[in-house]
Amino acid sequence: MIEKRQFYINGAWVDPIEGKDHHVIDPSTEEACAVISLGGQADADAAVAAAKAAFSAWMATPAEERIALVEKLLEVYQRRGAEMGEAISAEMGAPIDMATASQVGAGAYHTANFLKAAKKFKFVRPLGDHAPNDRIVHEPIGVCALITPWNWPMNQVTLKVIAAAIAGCTMVLKPSEESPLNALLFAEMMDEAGFPAGVFNLVNGDGAGVGSTLSGHKDVDMVSFTGSTRAGIAISQNAAHTLKRVHLELGGKGANLLFADADEKAVKRGVRHMMENSGQSCNAPSRMMVQREIYDRVVEEAAEIANSTAVASAHEKGRHIGPVVNELQWNKIQGLIQKGIDEGARVVAGGVGRPEGLNKGFFVRPTVFADVNNDMTIAREEIFGPVLSIIPFETEEEAVEMANDTVYGLTNYVQTQDMERAKRVAGQFRSGMVEINGHSRGAGAPFGGMKQSGNGREGGVWGIEDFLEVKSVAGWSE
């Protein structure tokens, strides 16, 4: 069993001041794979103090030098990618091939895109030709608390840490206690890359302890949080006492509109995307809305695809989905599947219980519901498991209205060969992101939502700007 009881504070690995043991559970086996320490207020205070002491010097470090350190970090990260994949697979259940390729790959991808954006970013720029002696200066916000989730850990750690470092902020990272091993490994990489002491600090803890201390801390200037909407609301309330900036990436209930002229791969694409990472993605297309003319065919095809989706241990190589992260999530998903049945939705694939042959581990049957209406619980709540709801619609207007009839607004999808309709629908979606006909967002595109899906934009130039203050200076002379 791995033992990782230390924190990374002020450029050194230190014992917790008030730590308590926490067992990290491998969701494929339900057995402990590691023991870490969860810190308390004193540990969070020490990390914040280190970040505060390092801020002035890091802020004054030329952007070129900060960028060079990130380039060194990327080299270390890529060299140690296999270790990172093994850690992620064991602690949160992503199948080893997917963990190494997609989970680890996301971190490298975002880091490389931040580097491209940073090299073009003008931290000082003219206001305009009408004001030749005015400058707009972008300065780091200060000490940032970065609170990350378990479902795509390196995706979220790099989106926050790299952007903050390039901007000139110092930081304290609190990863999820469900998947802390990847973040501890990342701290080793930050150390190996040579970041100055205090720029990056890591303290393990839970939300009620270290998370609450950081979000309410008087010396923390910004909180960047990715996780549930419930937790995002609590963090916002706690942070309001000090009027710090709060950047939130929260839940989603994505609508995927399939019109009658959708391409032949649209159904498979939608189901596969929903089941990826065992449904544990905030941008999952969990509501498949289908035009009535093709509804019966789509339901049948979706069921076939779900039934052919293999489920197996995260430690096995191959193309399959693994378990969900823990028993709490498993029980929640089972309850929502049963709720769908009780409210009259028709199960056409999967259902309650574990897949056949898997009697241990937090495995969920890939499930598809047909005959769902937008008022059912399974259409309203974020399930965060491999569960797809299929909802019929008659007209474009009805489909858009249903898509927007949710408290969330992260990613929506549209499948049609009529590009004018696709653009029209995309313009009416109340979501931060839209993908048409399976086209993924390009490198450096901003990730973020509207409404209760949050208020930040991560990735590329927008991700860097989220960690910057804007200062207006008049009377500037070269």
Catalytic residues: 249, 282
Q: Please give the single-letter amino acid code of residue 249.
A: E
On the CB side of 135, how many CA atoms lie within 13 Å of its CA? Answer: 12
CB 411 within 8 Å of CB 431: yes
Helix (H, G, I), strand (E, B) or coil at 282: coil
Phi, psi of 81 (to 5 degrees): -60, -35
CB 432 within 8 Å of CB 457: yes
Q: How far apart are CA 275 and CA 278, in angstroms?
A: 5
Q: How far apart are CA 425 and CA 259, in angstroms?
A: 11
- Report CA 239 to chain centroid distance, whole Å: 21
Helices (H), 124-227: 153-167, 181-193, 212-216
Kind and range of the H or E element at 110? helix 104-120
How far are the Cα atoms of 50, 137, 184, 273, 365 from residue 385, in angstroms, in the given order?
39, 44, 26, 12, 9
Sequential DSSP letters for 295-336: HHHHHHHHHHHHHT--B--TTS-SS-B---S-HHHHHHHHHH
The conformation of residue 449, written as its DSSP 8-state character, comes to -
How far are the Cα atoms of 35, 216, 458 from residue 240, in angstroms, in the given order?
34, 8, 22
Spell out the residues 6+ positions from residue 419 whose beta carbon is closer than 8 angstroms to its own: none
Bridge-based pairing of strands 31-38 and 287-291 is unpaired
Short-list 416, 151, 41, 475, CA closest to 426: 416
End-to-end Cα, the chain, rounded Å: 60
Q: Please give the single-letter amino acid code of residue 306.
A: A
Helix (H, G, I), strand (E, B) or coil at 6: coil
Q: Please give the single-letter amino acid code of residue 232.
A: G
CB 404 within 8 Å of CB 273: no
CB 137 within 8 Å of CB 146: no
Tokens of 1: 């069993």
Q: How far apart are CA 210 and CA 42, in angstroms?
A: 9
